[in-house]
Amino acid sequence: MHTAKAPFSSPNAGHPVLERGGFALNSLTHHSFPAPTQHWSGRIWARTGCTYANNRFTCATGDCGGRIECNGAGGKPPATLAQFSLHHGHNAALSSYGVSLVDGYNVGMTITPHEGRGVCPVVGCRADLLASCPEPLKLKSHAGHVVGCKSACEAFNTDEFCCRNHYNSPQTCRASHYSQFFKHSCPATFTYAHDSPSLMHDCSSPRELKVIFCH
C-alpha cells in the first residue's frame, strides 16, 4: 500500500503550523482538520517513497530534513504544491487557493472547494507527469524508477529558469519550453515563478477545501 506523508509549511511569520506540519496518509483514506479562524497562508504537499531508519524519516520527494512533522519547514523539490491564503479580503471572507508546479511534480493533486460563493472551480493537475517527464527533468530512485519531475530551475539552476537577478520580474521571467510541458498537461496550475496571478482563485466562505492526492 502506498503511504503519503502530507506536510504543511507556513511561510509567513506568525501563522500557525497545522497538524504539527505532517502526518501519514494511506491510500484511499482521508484526514480532516479545522482551518484557522484568522488569516493564514501556507502550503500542503505529499511526500513519497518514505522510509524510517536510524531515527531519520527520509522521503524520495518532498522531504523536510528527515522528520515526519515538518514543523513549518518546506519540502525538498520536486513536489506538487497546494497553496492557500485563508480569511482575507473584505470581512475576511475570501479564501484563495491554487496548485503550483513551480517546484516540480511528484503526485497528481486537485483542490475542491465546497459550498463557497462566487467562482470556486476545482483546480489542479490530474495527469501522470512521471510517465511523460522530459529526460533532463527526471528524478530517479536508486532502482531507476522515475519518482519526480523537476522544474527547470531545480534541474539547471540558472538565473533565467529560476527567475533570479535580472530575470526576477514579470517582464523578464518568461515561460520556458520546460514550463510549457507542465502547462500543456495541467493548464490550471502555476508552472513558473511569474505565471499568471489569476491562477489563484478567490472563493467566498467555503465550508471545506479538499485536497486530493492522485498517486
Domains located in the chain, CATH noted: 3-214 (2.60.110.10)
pTM score: 0.90
CB 8 within 8 A of CB 22: yes
Listed residue (148, 131, 160, 157) closest to 61, CA to CA: 148
Per-residue pLDDT at 13? 47
Pairwise CA distance, residues 58 & 48, whole Å = 9
Pairwise CA distance, residues 44 & 4, whole Å = 12
Pairwise CA distance, residues 196 & 198, whole Å = 5
Burial of 164 (0-12, 13-18, 19+ CB in 10 A): middle
Q: What is the DSSP string of 27-88?
A: TT-----PPPSS-EEEEEE-BEEEEEETTEEEEEES--SS-SS-TTPPPPSS--EEEEEEEE
Pairwise CA distance, residues 133 & 166, whole Å = 28
Per-residue pLDDT at 153? 98
Check pLDDT > 60 for residue 108: yes
Per-residue pLDDT at 67? 87
Task: Characterize the bridge pairing of strands 94-100 and 81-88.
Answer: antiparallel
Per-residue pLDDT at 9? 55
Check pLDDT > 60 for residue 198: yes
DSSP letter for 117, please.
Answer: B
The chain-wide mean pLDDT, for the chain, equals 90
Q: Which residue has the higher pLDDT, 14 or 136?
A: 136
Instruction: Point out the least confidently predicted range of 5-14, 18-27, 72-81, 85-94.
Output: 5-14
Instruction: Point out the least confidently predicted range of 23-37, 95-109, 113-127.
Output: 23-37
Check pLDDT > 80 for residue 182: yes
Check pLDDT > 70 for residue 8: no
42-66 exposure pattern, b = at least 16 Cβ within 10 A, e = fewer: bbbbbbbbbeeeeeebebbbbbbee
Per-residue pLDDT at 119? 87
CB 100 within 8 A of CB 38: no
Per-residue pLDDT at 86? 92
User: In the chain, pLDDT over 70 holds for what percent of residues?
Assistant: 93
Q: Mean pLDDT throughout 196-206?
A: 93
